[in-house]
Chain A
Amino acid sequence: MTTTFEPRSIEERANYLNVDYGWKSWLFTTDHKRIALLYLFSITAFFLIGGAFAVGMRLNLVTPGGLFEADTYNKLFTMHGIIMVFFFLVPSIPAVLGNFLIPIMIGARDLAFPRINLLSWYIYVTGGLFTITAAFEGGVDTGWTFYAPFSTTYSNTHVILTAMGVFVAGFSSILTGLNFIITIHKMRAPGMTWGRLPLFVWSHYATSIIQVLGTPVIAITLVLLALERVLRAGIFDPALGGDPILFQHLFWFYSHPAVYIMILPGMGVISELIPCFSRKAIFGYNFVAFSSVAIAVIGFLVWGHHLFVAGQSMYASTVFSLLSFLVAVPSAIKVFNWTATMYRGSISFETPMLYAFGFIGLFTIGGLTGLVLATMALDVHLTDTYFVIAHFHYVMVGGMVMAYLGGIHFWFPKISGRMYPEGWAKFAALVVFVGFNLTFFPQFLLGYLGMPRRYHAYAPEFQVLNVMSSAGASILGVGYLIPMIYLFWAWRHGPKAPQNPWGAKGLEWEQSPTPPPTFNFNTPPVVTEEAYNYAEEAPLG
């Protein structure tokens, strides 16, 4: 055996991944990038569990009579909703991509409070364990909305344990939001002015505001729910002198803004992808940035549109309807600006851009059908039907999950130092797009025909559309599995990623090595130009 001195390869260069391999180096890490990966794996696990519940639901709905017992189905949709909303959608982009990228994008070594960041993950996992335990102990059947007095008095399932999980996970959300706000305020590199912040950071700033201000309200609501269930406190159940509509106001005061927690980070991802693959500065930077803040602010004032048929005063409903139209304007501004960004650009069609196209298409449909529901006379007919299900899945899955996948592919080289197989990735994007539309478009039609949501069995005339939806769901499921497989493979076996495979702008590509070292930069970054300055060449790897 001879020992030779070879130059260190890229792989051997110290980065956040190879700095240490022990399990302690992961579970006790305070590196925002490693914490982002902890989130990535736990969120993917929750996505698989939540997805498995969805598979059960679509399977049940193939026949009008339903394949499962009513109680089983009721638990399936409840667990699907709770896990997907609180343990996948709310943390997905912020806790994974936001965690990984925000410090690098603004030129910081880490988040402002690295240990609180790790604490957030432990809190999130603890909350998740509560809820998963409830699921394995027999589940919960209240719907993710926990409406009283059903949840407080009538349900015989694990309401408190599940609600406890959501309550606990809420603190993770609050701490992450707090961490982001302070980091963005205090830790920007020299030259990184507010007007130069990547729009991804702006959208996370807006998201964090909602997380910090809104999440305590759901926490209080769930505590009251538990008090009512255990001590018969008489807050929500009219038989005890309470008011069930109060629960709905409290619940939606958080849960409508929470919809924006879920979609704003997705919009942030799209605002990065489109300039990069159009090689062009974002059109109307200020409008895209401030529309995020506008959504966060107005989003707090529209919750009453969930109560148009609940017995709310019709004048209150009128105000909520008007504000709901108003909140659509900043979303529309974003879509128009993304489209305008492509004008006279140099557009290429790598996988992340395909997801961006998918996002614009599906989010547009999801947004416009939101206008249908904001129109009160139509909402009377459509609320609590499949039209609503289709609408929010177009926004949440068509929008948010598309953006998440687009972002994961875009930053995969940055995160792993490897390239994914482009052919497979394009194929999977197509499968997801086709499967998604086949799953959820028929549900718009079902909704207008009057099929209510949360039905384990339905009238026979609804079968054709339900079978189409279930068929689509099976395609969609395959579409989601393919990236999980090839990304897992590429993590070890993909070709080494160049420094900047997309020729993208931004500190994370231009000044931070790929993959980044533990403290992100070898030399302290300085920002000298606007974001998205694609007119000048970015250093290619």
Chain B
Amino acid sequence: MSGLSLFPPNASTTAGEVDALYSFVITVSVIMTILIFSCVFLFAIRYRRRSGNERPKAIHGSLVLEIAWSVIPFAIMLVFFAWGTKLYYKNYVPPENTLDLYVTGKQWMWKVQYPGGQREINELHVPTGRPVKLTLASEDVIHSFYVPAFRIKHDVVPGQYETLWFQATTPGRYHIFCAEYCGTGHATMGGWVTVLDPVAYEAWLSGGASGGSMQEQGEKLFQQYGCVTCHVLDQKGRCPSLRNVFGHAVALDDGRTVIADEAYVRESILNPNEKVVAGYKRDIMPVFQGQIGEEGLLQLIVYIKSLSNPASTGAVGKAVSGKAVSGKSATKGSTK
């Protein structure tokens, strides 16, 4: 906690890489600065006016110099650009097999949901050694989820899902800040991310769950809102079956094809008439805009995801319960 340290704590796989790039850019910039300042100082002293009637000869320019000091700095900048872009892509696209956590920002707190059903406010627990993907949602204005120790940040934009991933390396407690101004309590919309080693993380997880996993909670909502009456699983009901929809291509009635991702599922719950599946009628499903909160939406998405993920425990339920069964029994065996 030295007040004059130049770097924040380093607690993610990318923190060291960002620091290395930063050190490189700063070093090159300092060299450039020294070069320019030395010339200015040198000329100012060497060519200071010694008598009032000095009339130095004009030097109108030099094409060679102009080209040199345009091309060489730009070439150096291209190194910054290439390195920065490569690292940005790496930090932008999550790897496979992430631990998926769900973060909802609202004025002025962070609400975190774990797949196992644990929930926290302004606290995030993650294990070391495993990539973690956060799906970010906002209930009101734009926020920005920022962990300086991980060197990552992403805006949390209402109306859409953003994702952010990291892999923590060092157990400890690190700041979470909201980095996008969001009103009165912006400065206090912070919290702590606690990094635990995998054993301690398992122990922590087993301590806190209540009310079922996110998937179970999603399933409950699926029944509670009556989705299940039309979206009969594995049947052609009034609405499409949601089995094996998530992550697959969906043909729409206007001829387009979309991939059913989180954003599509979210939109189809809130404004079903935006993108209607080919072969189904409009205006059958009620509009849920304003009816379901962001956290509930995330639970529903986790549930719908589970219906088409053969690798997850949800697939077990699918295999066991066979075909024409209700949504309820379809996932009966799906909890751990």
Does B290 contact A344, Cβ atoms closer than 8 Å?
no
**A279 interface contact, C-beta 8 A:** yes
**A193 interface contact, C-beta 8 A:** no
Does B187 contact A285, Cβ atoms closer than 8 Å?
no
Q: Within 8 Å CB of B55, what residues of A?
A: 279, 346, 534-537
Does A154 contact B40, Cβ atoms closer than 8 Å?
no
Does A378 contact B25, Cβ atoms closer than 8 Å?
yes
Give residues of chain A (436-466) contacting chain B, Cβ–Cβ below 8 Å: 445, 448-450, 452-459, 461, 463-465
B319 to chain A, nearest CB (A): 37
**A155 interface contact, C-beta 8 A:** yes
Q: Within 8 Å CB of A339, what residues of B?
A: 36, 39-40, 43
Question: How many A-B contacts if CB must be within 8 Å?
Answer: 288
The number of chain A residues touching the other chain, given as a range, is 35 or more
Does B187 contact A456, Cβ atoms closer than 8 Å?
yes
Q: Could you give, for residues 348-377 of chain A, a 1 whenever the CB lies within 8 Å of some chain B CB and a 0 otherwise?
A: 110000000100110011001101101111
A357 to chain B, nearest CB (A): 7
**B57 interface contact, C-beta 8 A:** yes
**A381 interface contact, C-beta 8 A:** yes
A131 to chain B, nearest CB (A): 19
**B278 interface contact, C-beta 8 A:** no
B80-88, B120-128, B233-241: which lies at the interface: B80-88
- B contacts with A, residue count (CB < 8 A): 89
| Given A284-B62, A286-B61, A371-B25, A325 and B159 contact (CB-CB distance below 8 Å) | no
**A311 interface contact, C-beta 8 A:** yes
How many angstroms between the C-alpha atoms of A314 and B91 in the bound complex?
11
How many angstroms between the C-alpha atoms of A374 and B59 in the bound complex?
34
**B18 interface contact, C-beta 8 A:** yes
**B246 interface contact, C-beta 8 A:** no
The 3 closest A-B pairs by CB, nearest first: A238-B159, A450-B148, A375-B84
**B152 interface contact, C-beta 8 A:** yes
> A314, A342, A535: which contacts B88 (Cβ < 8 A)?
A314
Interface secondary structure of B, over-half rule: mixed
**A427 interface contact, C-beta 8 A:** no
Q: Within 8 Å CB of B26, what residues of A?
A: 372
**B183 interface contact, C-beta 8 A:** yes
Does B59 contact A371, Cβ atoms closer than 8 Å?
no
Q: Within 8 Å CB of B225, what residues of A?
A: none
B104 to chain A, nearest CB (A): 14
| Given A279-B54, A336-B69, A449 and B29 contact (CB-CB distance below 8 Å) | no
Give residues of chain A (411-448) contacting chain B, Cβ–Cβ below 8 Å: 445, 448
Give residues of chain B (227-263) contacting chain A, Cβ–Cβ below 8 Å: none
| Given A309-B154, A376-B84, A384 and B56 contact (CB-CB distance below 8 Å) | no
Does A74 contact B69, Cβ atoms closer than 8 Å?
no
> B7, B141, B144: which contacts A449 (Cβ < 8 A)?
B7
| Given A149-B158, A368-B29, A450 and B69 contact (CB-CB distance below 8 Å) | no
How many angstroms between the C-alpha atoms of A198 and B37 in the bound complex?
26
Q: Which of A457, A532, A533 has the most CB of B within 10 A?
A: A457
A422 to chain B, nearest CB (A): 15
Q: Within 8 Å CB of B153, what residues of A?
A: 309, 380-381, 383-384
Interface secondary structure of A, over-half rule: helix
**B100 interface contact, C-beta 8 A:** no
Does B70 contact A329, Cβ atoms closer than 8 Å?
yes
Does A535 contact B6, Cβ atoms closer than 8 Å?
no
Does B56 contact A360, Cβ atoms closer than 8 Å?
no
B44-52, B209-217, B302-310, B320-328: which lies at the interface: B44-52
How many angstroms between the C-alpha atoms of A333 and B63 in the bound complex?
12
Does A325 contact B74, Cβ atoms closer than 8 Å?
yes
> A150, A309, A329, A456: which contacts B144 (Cβ < 8 A)?
A309
Does A244 contact B185, Cβ atoms closer than 8 Å?
no
**A283 interface contact, C-beta 8 A:** yes
| Given A325-B77, A454-B181, A377 and B91 contact (CB-CB distance below 8 Å) | yes
Does A281 contact B7, Cβ atoms closer than 8 Å?
no
Give residues of chain A (264-308) contacting chain B, Cβ–Cβ below 8 Å: 278-281, 283-287, 308
